Structure 1
Amino acid sequence: MILPTWLLLLSGTALADYYNPPISDGYGNWSAAYEKARHFVCQLTLTEKVNFTTGVGTGQTVGYSNSIIPRIGFRGLAGDDGPTGVRGADYTSALASGMNLAMTWDRQLIYEQNYINGAEHKAKGANSVAAPVVGPLGHAPAGGRNFEGFSPDPYLSGIAFGEAVRGTQDAGAIAEGKHYLLYEQEHFREIVEWNVWLAEEPNITDPYSSNVDDRTLHELYLWPWYDGVKNHMGAVMCSYNQANNTHACESDRLLNQLLKGELGFQGYVSSDDGSQFSGVASALGGMDVTGPGETSPNGISGLGESYWGPNLTLAVLNGSVPEWRLDDMVTRVMASYYYLGQDKDYPELNFASGNFDTYGYEYPEAELGWRKINLHLDVRDNHAETIRKVGSNSAVLLKNSKNTLPLKKPKQIAVIGEDAGPNKYGPNGCSDRACNEGTMAMGWGSGSTNFPYLVDPLSAIQQRALKDRTVVQYVLDNWAKDQIGDVSWQAEVCLTFVSAISGEGYLEVDNNFGDRNNLTAWKDGDAVVKQVAANCSETVVVIHAPGPILMEEWIDLPNVTAVIFAGLPGQESGNGLVDVLYGDVNPSGKLPWSVGRKREDYGTDVLYKANGPVPQLDFSEGLFIDYRYVDKNNIKPRFEFGFGLSYTTFDYHGLRINAVPAVPTASISPSQAMRTTNPSICPHTSLNPSDYTFPTRCTPTRGGDPKLWDVVYRVRTTVTNTGSVAGQEVAQLYLDLGNGTPPRQLRGFQKVMIQPGEHKEVEFELRRRDVSIWDVVKQQWVEVTKLGTDIKVFVGSSSRDVKLRGVIPATGKAPSMISSMVPSSSSRMSSVVPSSRFKVTPTPTH
């Protein structure tokens, strides 16, 4: 049989061009995993392989459970949400949000929490975790699911994403990174979902399309995925939206060419619930598994039928989908399974997501398989300690004008605001956490989980106050103006709580359809702060929110003396906050985005009104989102990216920049045909090796060209704690790469604990990709110094608080050619580091 030309020439490229042979390296062994997977796949019949790719679910998990095959003793693979814990289970932990992990700027804490997540999923018998998240990246600050991810900065998100993948998989569960790619808002993400809610003309006929140029795609939205693939990510969930008007789950460009080709991804691609829109096209486009189940609201003719299942069997039999592609689908899934060692003593699935009954049907829709479906295993161990640590280390101190904090055994405290207390319905009283009742510690949607308990701030404050003999009065009704006035004027310190919340688009809260309608505090929070500040000379504002909120109405009031952004910190919310309020933990959190003075400061926003049957989101701002836009347009933010105060102070001095000698490494181009191979996996596959020769584009390592990961420069500085208490500082490195890039881009950070008077050297490693831009013509990364561009180096405590400056000169330039970078007004002598070609100078702090 000769395959049709159209099948082999998708996007002008042979379909098999992006079939990747396995890689042997890392803590596991992909080669060995693929060999085991091939052996497994070659035992299967055609229908068994099709059933394997068409997740039908067992009724017990939110995710798919691939076909159980009693004939060969295979029990199937179960998956479950999500980034904050095992969704719909009992006796599991409720973790801090991904945003809070980014707020810590702490690689070890990011790893630790995700290890916990992987360990709890494994203990419950789930093979894969639908996490971590870098889609959405955070294109618009009001985006509903931004809190699930890390930061609109690709470097910070990439480091966090890589550590999260590593932590999850070190615990034994498959990390299924999501959502790939350009899924940046909730409005118009699904046809049925949106049309049922909105019912206005014109109803959408397809999910929105995120339209982005190739350079922006690589340097911004695709950037973090390199880190995930580099750290052996076993699975990827493709997203609801379209990318440049092609559905993400059938995009040959996104899945085959970029993910499996350029990045060298070894695992499998699963659909999200309702993100598959075709049968043959999604199979050829690179999707490997229908994740949530056989049917979907976007099914054939809107009837909820499967695009795969029997239809995929027919497509293979009639030649529309080659059997080697089907083999590849199953092999990728099983390779991840074997790579994580899940074939040895992996726990059986022992819970039923969303159903806490001990006995029930294994297949509830068919009312079959009555048995014990929940063992109610407690898998929490001592994980609360890490969650509390994330909460305290992620708290960002934005203002402390009168040294109000830390609290010093005040005689009387007023606690004001609904966000300080418990939800009157209980911590799990609202479906998937979709309500704004009580304190906010988690966003809503599939990224949520059940709280085993929730320590609200008021409870934790009262517990601490008992030790200090402090009087605590409180008002938890934001509209109880008289009572708020009565307690606030009596108090020495008034702890005032405001909040906002957002979530996934299938749920609505106060007419917010996932995305936030505004960037202000909910439930009249601005008015509450102003009323308290009018009566209380030391007003401390605590914010729980899924992203930045505008605070111009009250931030400059003289009686607002301290502000803490606490994010969405999970089950230990109150305890972690009290650790910071009383100084048991010196705040060290830094903003993972900027706080504007008005909404327009961000330059990007959610598309709230459909601009056609297929809404078009044109990312015309290119690389310039969040602080990149603010810096480009000389906008003064209220608080800049990377900002965060401490109870102590730090000084920077002695910037040194050194080139790292090159180590010979084989380099490849993403478009380079590396070798010729037949992609057949099993001997019986319906491809004759003598008939077909497929050029295979592959990368010999995960994460793209291996040279991208070479360390090419080391930047060092010394940080001194000039205060009176120990504290952690997040030293940050930014680069100006010229060539149309943002004036400053984060390219390094290190968090260090420093004792009073102590000096610590901080080192940043710059990899080749950190000093490169994407060449759309050559289709590869190019170092800007080889383009004749000097790299400006900035080191400091935030994107605006630059302490030291330096230059990495363009290739072939002598140091004297860049002396103009040294300001004559510098308060210290500039110096050239011995054996270095790079001129550096300090910049006075401000």
Structure 2
Amino acid sequence: MKMNNHLTKLCLAAAAAAAVACAPAPKRAAVAVYLDPEAPIEERVEDALARMTVPEKIAIIHAQSKFSSPGVPRLGIPELWCTDGPHGIRPEVLWDEWEQAGWTNDSCVAYPALTCLAATWNPAMAALYGKSIGEEARYREKDVLLGPGVNIYRTPLNGRNFEYMGEDPYLASRMVVPYVQEVQKNGVAACVKHFALNNEETHRHTIDVDVDDRALYEIYLPAFKAAVEEGGTWTVMGSYNLYRGEYGCHNDRLLNRILKGDWAFDGAVVSDWGGVHDTDQAIRNGLDLEFGTWTDGLTMGATNAYDNYYMAKPYLRKIENGEVGTEELDDKVRRVLRLTFRTAMNQDKPFGALCSEEHYAAARRIGEEGIVLLRNEGGVLPFDLGGMKRILVVGENAVKMMTVGGGSSSLKVQRETSPLDGIRARVGDRAEVVWARGYVGDVGGEYNGVKSGQDLRDDRSAGALIAEAVEEARKADAVVFVGGLNKSDHQDCEGVDRFSLGLPYGQDAVIEALAAVNPRLVVALVSGNAVSMPWVDEVPAIVQAWYLGSEAGNALAAVLFGDANPSGKLPFTFPVRIEDNGAHATDPVFPHDGKTCYKDGIFVGYRWTEKEGIEPLFPFGHGLSYTTFAYGPVEADRASTDERGTVNVSVEVTNTGDRAGAEVVQLYIADKESSLPRPVKELKGFEKVWLEAGQSKVVTFPVGVEALRYYDDTKGEWVAEKGVFEALVGASSADIKGSAVFELK
């Protein structure tokens, strides 16, 4: 267990005296600069490095327990402690096991999954998220938060998509930066993951990805680049998969040449747990901190095997035998020390907070803003309690805890409000709220020793469950079906991918039966992935509810009853069929074991459907409101520009409805004269505009040369070609309201 902040300062002071008294006479001044928080951080790093022995240097670059590295006790340099995120602070586990340590004070607030955060299309919500989760990590004395994730949503079958920020590199880039910045204001390092191309789970330890450089630079790297160059992230986590024959955790091109070279990353590269495979490659290819090897929870290997890690005794023996020098080692140690001074030895950290009402309010607000109203025919929503006596809620997901399970993001929460409880709390005694099971899915509720405490067993047949739901639906004034996916295997879950695009557990039959007997049916889908909807035309109202965390039920109820006007927009495309997705259209084999080539290239998500002329089920950027918005003409302030200039694209947006609401105004750019194939259009700007009824606002997007470039893999550089461009402004990728043409000279 780590010391609290006050004890840490006292112990560091004592250690400073001991270090000066006991250390061999240094060649430089005896003052322990590394312990001086007022000294420039690079001076502190070099001073500490000069005082360390080679064995101490080796020790500091690998784990000593499941989630910690040892520091340098002789010099008073403390341990580094990591914790899983990115949706909440993981409960404490035993020293060398994944199982629970049995603490009673390690519960947390669960925040909405990152797909929901991305669906807010609001960087202010990303900042609130980072601030809140960073405060919880700080209170729990964590130094590194293992998140956020920004891998691109390439296929809706990826089991880990719910931890990421969607299919578009620009959207993910704008959302990750404030998250990272606000986490790190707490003296806690964000660890952006998984670098890179971690787009499948089933064979994640063996899959070798080959992707052309255009797709790599235009689609899969921008969010990581933004996190490094703009967010200033202090750590980056390597991925399990291989890229062109080298594992992501020690990949020369990704880590040395791109991350540390091109982007000048000065932080530490952390391995994913069990992601290291070779000592020589780990030495040369950019890894700085090794975790999880041989104690990865998969093959176990040996207990307390930390000194046998690839970057432990094997590395030390190579140095002692003269096989390698210490140049690479010193670079790794510098990075780990820099991380330590920014976190564990940062005396200016705030105190943090855990399970505060402010954090619950933040979780609820993010959830409300991220919920997406996909369909609302006939104005079924929002519900008006004035005319209701009986509301039926159907579905296992209406009662099942969703914070337990799904892999490393599983949490132990102080409380979690279910959709059923949230609806009942909102309705109060104004109407009767009845629940019917509808279907049986995953009746479990345990992960690494955290138990939900729910007993969801039900032995009735599917037919009996549907019959009960239908009978109740006939008597109800409105029906809310809460279904979707869950966090069990082959749903939304780390380590395994989905089997198909369809809903599991026979939910389609339940929805169709309910639609046949009650015209006021709302389907609320809990998931981090797109699903097929063969019943879409039969259901008047559909809500994408995501995994909303501790305040799930309250956030959903607020949207259903109009307390919150929905303003979320989809961060990825919902295809009608799996074959409408570019990854599956170009390669029907999934999941891959061995080598895979991203044949869809840069045409991911809406870029693919627009190129192929495919109509999606719901397009990227789609989301409805309880009010309406009108767009004025789109105008550009100049007809031409050069590489040094900026074109300002403006549009006036008016709330033409009778209630306040928010619209996400989206800017797409189309290159009309490119010499290489380009998407029909690409997202290059967005702004969430809050408007009272009748209010108008002019939204202006500055368009510089960065928005016009593409990566020319024949030249190995970004290129903006002269010619005609079109700025398209709309409410989604498929709902363009107007455009303006300009020329780049």
TM-score (norm 1): 0.74
Equivalent residue for 1:494? 479
Equivalent residue for 1:482? 467
Identity of aligned pairs, percent? 30
- 1:176 paired with 2:179, answer no
Where does 1:550-565 land on structure 2 (aligned, <5 Å)?
550-551=532-533, 553-557=534-538, 560-565=539-544
Aligned partner of 1:481: which letter? I
Deviation at 1:301, TM superposition (A): 10
Aligned equivalent of 1:458, options 417, 420, 426: 420
Query: Any idea what SS the aligned residue of 2:633 has?
Result: strand
Aligned partner of 2:226: which letter? D
Aligned partner of 2:40: which letter? A
Note the alpha carbon deviations across 1:535-578, whole angstroms, 9 max, x for none: 11211111001211111x21101xx2111011111110010011
- 1:729 paired with 2:674, answer no
In 1, Cα distance between the equivalents of 2:285 and 2:62? 16
Where does 1:433-448 land on structure 2 (aligned, <5 Å)?
433-434=404-405, 444-448=406-410
Give the conservation status (yes or no) of the 8 Å contact 1:495–1:539. Answer: yes
Aligned partner of 1:212: which letter? V
Aligned equivalent of 1:44, options 52, 56, 73: 52
In 2, Cα distance between the equivalents of 1:319 and 1:579? 66
- 1:540 paired with 2:485, answer no
Deviation at 1:295, TM superposition (A): 5.2
Deviation at 1:330, TM superposition (A): 1.2
Aligned partner of 2:243: which letter? A
Equivalent residue for 1:416? 394
Give the conservation status (yes or no) of the 8 Å contact 1:300–1:307. Answer: no
- 1:343 paired with 2:341, answer no
Deviation at 1:596, TM superposition (A): 1.3
Equivalent residue for 2:107? 91
Equivalent residue for 1:642? 621
Deviation at 1:278, TM superposition (A): 0.7
Give the conservation status (yes or no) of the 8 Å contact 2:294–2:301. Answer: no
Deviation at 1:477, TM superposition (A): 3.8
- 1:470 paired with 2:478, answer no
- 1:308 paired with 2:311, answer yes
In 2, Cα distance between the equivalents of 1:660 and 1:765? 14
In the superposition, relative to structure 1, how do residues 446 and 711 fare at CA in structure 2: closer, same or farther (>3 Å)?
Answer: farther
Aligned partner of 2:54: which letter? L
Give the conservation status (yes or no) of the 8 Å contact 1:294–1:309. Answer: no
Note the alpha carbon deviations across 1:496-548, whole angstroms, 9 max, x for none: 11111357xxx667999621111122221111111111111211111001211
Deviation at 1:660, TM superposition (A): 13
In 1, Cα distance between the equivalents of 2:620 and 2:491? 29
Give the gaps of 5 or more residues in structure 2: 1-36, 93-105, 440-461
Give the conservation status (yes or no) of the 8 Å contact 2:396–2:483. Answer: yes
Query: Any idea what SS the aligned residue of 2:70 has?
Result: coil
Deviation at 1:721, TM superposition (A): 0.6
In 1, Cα distance between the equivalents of 2:62 and 2:344? 23
In 2, Cα distance between the equivalents of 1:318 and 1:594? 55
Query: Any idea what SS the aligned residue of 1:790 has?
Result: strand
In the superposition, relative to structure 1, how do residues 662 and 299 fare at CA in structure 2: closer, same or farther (>3 Å)?
Answer: farther
In the superposition, relative to structure 1, how do residues 53 and 383 fare at CA in structure 2: closer, same or farther (>3 Å)?
Answer: same
Equivalent residue for 1:284? 284
In the superposition, relative to structure 1, how do residues 252 and 338 fare at CA in structure 2: closer, same or farther (>3 Å)?
Answer: same
In 1, Cα distance between the equivalents of 2:710 and 2:635? 24
Equivalent residue for 2:235? 235
In the superposition, relative to structure 1, how do residues 112 and 172 fare at CA in structure 2: closer, same or farther (>3 Å)?
Answer: same
In the superposition, relative to structure 1, how do residues 321 and 790 fare at CA in structure 2: closer, same or farther (>3 Å)?
Answer: farther
In the superposition, relative to structure 1, how do residues 98 and 746 fare at CA in structure 2: closer, same or farther (>3 Å)?
Answer: same
In 2, Cα distance between the equivalents of 1:657 and 1:321? 59
- 1:56 paired with 2:64, answer yes
Equivalent residue for 1:407? 383
Give the conservation status (yes or no) of the 8 Å contact 2:59–2:71. Answer: no
Aligned partner of 1:103: which letter? A
Equivalent residue for 1:764? 701
In 2, Cα distance between the equivalents of 1:655 and 1:241? 44
Give the conservation status (yes or no) of the 8 Å contact 1:145–1:502. Answer: no
Equivalent residue for 2:546? 567
Give the gaps of 5 or more residues in structure 1: 1-28, 191-206, 351-376, 435-443, 664-706, 812-846
Equivalent residue for 1:259? 259
Aligned partner of 1:36: which letter? R
Query: Any idea what SS the aligned residue of 2:254 has?
Result: helix
321-330 or 754-763, which deviates more:
321-330
Deviation at 1:30, TM superposition (A): 13
In 1, Cα distance between the equivalents of 2:302 and 2:648? 56
Give the conservation status (yes or no) of the 8 Å contact 2:251–2:286. Answer: yes
Equivalent residue for 1:616? 595
Give the conservation status (yes or no) of the 8 Å contact 2:135–2:354. Answer: no
In the superposition, relative to structure 1, how do residues 259 and 326 fare at CA in structure 2: closer, same or farther (>3 Å)?
Answer: same
Deviation at 1:592, TM superposition (A): 0.6
456-465 or 93-102, which deviates more:
456-465
Give the conservation status (yes or no) of the 8 Å contact 2:109–2:413. Answer: yes
Where does 1:373-392 land on structure 2 (aligned, <5 Å)?
378-392=354-368
Aligned partner of 2:251: which letter? S
Give the conservation status (yes or no) of the 8 Å contact 1:150–1:592. Answer: yes
In 2, Cα distance between the equivalents of 1:657 and 1:149? 34
Give the conservation status (yes or no) of the 8 Å contact 2:407–2:494. Answer: no
Aligned partner of 2:484: which letter? S
Note the alpha carbon deviations across 1:270-323, whole angstroms, 9 max, x for none: 111111011121111111110346755899999974212111112233444331
The count of residues paired between Structure 1 and Structure 2 equals 661
Equivalent residue for 1:212? 211
Query: Any idea what SS the aligned residue of 1:604 has?
Result: helix
Deviation at 1:69, TM superposition (A): 2.4
- 1:123 paired with 2:122, answer no
Give the conservation status (yes or no) of the 8 Å contact 2:575–2:581. Answer: yes
In 2, Cα distance between the equivalents of 1:269 and 1:292? 14
Note the alpha carbon deviations across 1:663-705, whole angstroms, 9 max, x for none: 9xxxxxxxxxxxxxxxxxxxxxxxxxxxxxxxxxxxxxxxxxx
Note the alpha carbon deviations across 1:211-260, whole angstroms, 9 max, x for none: 10111100010111111012111001101100012111221111010001
234-243 or 156-165, which deviates more:
156-165
In 1, Cα distance between the equivalents of 2:722 and 2:319? 52
In 1, Cα distance between the equivalents of 2:494 and 2:298? 23
Query: Any idea what SS the aligned residue of 2:600 has?
Result: coil
Give the conservation status (yes or no) of the 8 Å contact 2:667–2:728. Answer: yes
In 2, Cα distance between the equivalents of 1:454 and 1:301? 36
Where does 1:737-816 land on structure 2 (aligned, <5 Å)?
737=671, 738=674, 739-783=676-720, 787-811=721-745
Deviation at 1:345, TM superposition (A): 6.0
In 2, Cα distance between the equivalents of 1:487 and 1:512? 36
Higher helix share: 2
In 2, Cα distance between the equivalents of 1:800 and 1:794? 11
Give the conservation status (yes or no) of the 8 Å contact 1:497–1:543. Answer: yes
Note the alpha carbon deviations across 1:320-369, whole angstroms, 9 max, x for none: 43312111101112213334584316699x9xxxxxxxxxxxxxxxxxxx
In 1, Cα distance between the equivalents of 2:618 and 2:310? 48
Aligned partner of 1:217: which letter? L
Equivalent residue for 1:654? 633
